[in-house]
Amino acid sequence: MIPPPSEAPALVPPRGGVAWRYGSDLRMAGAAVYVLLLQVSHPTVGAGVHEHSAFELDPWGRLHRTLDFVSTMVYGGPEAAAEMGTRVRAMHRAIRGVDEQGRPYHALEPDAYAWVQLTLAEGMIEGHRVLGRRLSADQQDELWQEWRKVGRLLGVRDRDLPDTWSRARVLRDRMIAERLEHTPAVDQVLTLVIAPPAPPLPGLPTWLWRIVRAPTARIGLIVTGGLLGPELRERFGISWGRRRQLLFRLFAALSRLATPVFWLLPPLRIFGPWYLRIRRRLTRRPAVERVAVDLPAPPAPPSAPPAPPSGASPPAT
């Protein structure tokens, strides 16, 4: 169940807390595809994204709406975060169907819902370990406790999320070993990584994008593959060798070396508040309104499974 708005001030990450300080370092964009692949390789999440999401048609718009969602939940304040949580839950009620293997699915299945929430924290913690400054064990657990509270704003039940980060990592490892699959949505994501469309930047020359697209895609694939690790790389069909591993280590080392610069420049280290202001100025709409356009009205599925137990799934981001 979504908590009443009166509880939101106690559930949003506190200003100066771990999620607030580490949730929007610009380098964490390098972990975005890693997180998305963890999400869409879950059979339920993957089927929902494959059959209901518009991300393949508008990947850059989807990226913006994901940033709208995360930035609002962390930096938008209690009122905006509560409204965002309510909207996200409502969006996912209609996401149901039968996947390509004949399995019924619903976006509000508790384990799928909890998995998406866990992967977002995984992206922050693992992203900082590899690309930034490693969080201490206490910081990791503090971030997780803050993120579990954010989950409540989305309707995530406490009992569906481990109570400590160490237990959350045990669940992560078990999901990788037993649950995650090479879904059609995984191929959709990897196709966009290998051949990303030009971003909708006014005045961006076609010739310039042709020049920068190949190295940008190469870096994205190497960072994503390095974060995934050998088991998921093999499962997803991502070729890997010594050269790619060396390039991954080099890029990660250079990213970590930039940490002092990021700490001297707040917009690079804590980009979320700046992002919300810039996006609102450009779109003239609050983030809670922008995020809802991601899901087109789907056709009625051939068969609908029973409604799941109460609980809600945050969006696959």
* Measured distance CA(312)–CA(84) in Å, rounded: 13
Q: 104 has which bridge partners?
A: 98
Residue 196 has pLDDT above 50, yes or no: yes
What does the pLDDT look like over 101-146, one tens digit per residue?
A: 999 999 999 999 999 999 999 999 999 999 999 999 999 999 999 9
What does the pLDDT look like over 198-256, one tens digit per residue?
A: 988 888 899 999 999 999 999 999 999 999 999 999 999 999 999 999 999 999 999 99
* Measured distance CA(165)–CA(158) in Å, rounded: 14
Domain ranges of the chain: 5-294
pTM for this prediction: 0.88
Task: Establish how many alpha carbons lie within 13 A of residue 6's alpha carbon, considering only the half-sphere containing its beta carbon.
Answer: 0
* Measured distance CA(114)–CA(123) in Å, rounded: 15
* Measured distance CA(62)–CA(224) in Å, rounded: 18
* Measured distance CA(316)–CA(25) in Å, rounded: 20
